[in-house]
Structure 1
Amino acid sequence: MVRIVKVLTRTDVSQRLGVTTEMLNMLPPYNREHDVPVRVLDDTGMIYEFKLSVRAEGALKPIFQYQEWRAFVHRRNIRTGDVIYFWEQESVDHRTEYRIHPVRTYV
């Protein structure tokens, strides 16, 4: 199991999460015409449905869109400089599920 580590930027916290190439490679296939829902379970057992979005043309610039991502940030009181761990794992019914675990940094 590979865990991806990302230090959150001001934009990640205040607007949308910039999805790294490593994260994008483990997520379901993206679609340039439509957002792709990604079901993510956090370390408290809460389920979120982040919307994966890429640009229609040119560089992909993948993101998790504002609404559900910001709900996660708000619920967990996430701040700039905090770290998230993101990974995929197989569920008990043999489906891929995505997990996220935020870690507070004291900068």
Structure 2
Amino acid sequence: MVFSKSLTGTEIKKRLSIPSNILPSLPSFNRSHAVRIKLMYGTEIWPIVCTILKKGYKKPVFSGPLWRNFVISKKLRIGDRIRMYKVLDSDYRLEVEKPTTTSNMELAMAVWLSIMSLPPVWLFGTNLSDETTEMSAGKRS
């Protein structure tokens, strides 16, 4: 694994900051400040531009429209954890781990339980809650 990190708002909206200690794992910049790499995500290959500052601190970042297109297409969100692995010279594999969320089934069950715990509903002198319970149990009047 080259690196792993949880995404921040800036990394979703603008650029992914990459730890500078992975520079040796990146393709050579050959006196340039940008290099194109290929990110494999699932069965797709995404070209991404990796840049460093021309002068001073050489902090690599993925930025620009190629990075944004990837973020939007894959519906990346703040808190998603990405892991990048080197496959070949300029080919990398990216994995995304989404934070756990409540499933639709769990949510539906919670709503159902909260409804069932409500007091009976009376409409024009008829207890609808008891009638509904009897109907769902197969009893008819």
The TM-score normalised by the length of structure 1 is: 0.81
| Deviation of the 1:101 alpha carbon | 1.1
Equivalent in the alignment of 2:72: 74
Change (3 A) 1:65 1:8: same
Which one is further off, 28-37 or 74-83? 28-37
> RCO greater where, 1 or 2, for CA within 8 Å and sep 6 or more?
1
| Deviation of the 1:22 alpha carbon | 4.3
Structure 2 gaps of 5+ residues are: 102-141
State the structure with more CA Rg.
2
Q: Distance in 2 between matches of 1:65 and 1:3?
A: 18
Q: 98, 115, 122: which is aligned to 1:104?
A: 98
Change (3 A) 1:53 1:105: same
Q: Which has the higher strand share?
A: 1
State the aligned residue count.
101
| Deviation of the 1:30 alpha carbon | 2.7
Q: Residues 20 and 59 of structure 2 are in contact (CA less than 8 Å); yes or no, is this contact kept in structure 1?
A: no
Q: Residues 52 and 64 of structure 1 are in contact (CA less than 8 Å); yes or no, is this contact kept in structure 2?
A: yes
Equivalent in the alignment of 1:7: 6
Alignment of 1:42-53 (within 5 A): 42-43=41-42, 45-53=43-51
Q: Residues 32 and 54 of structure 1 are in contact (CA less than 8 Å); yes or no, is this contact kept in structure 2?
A: no
Q: Distance in 1 between matches of 2:94 and 2:56?
A: 29
**Percent identical residues:** 28
Name the Cα RMSD after superposition: 2.0
Change (3 A) 1:96 1:50: closer
Q: Which has the higher helix share?
A: 2
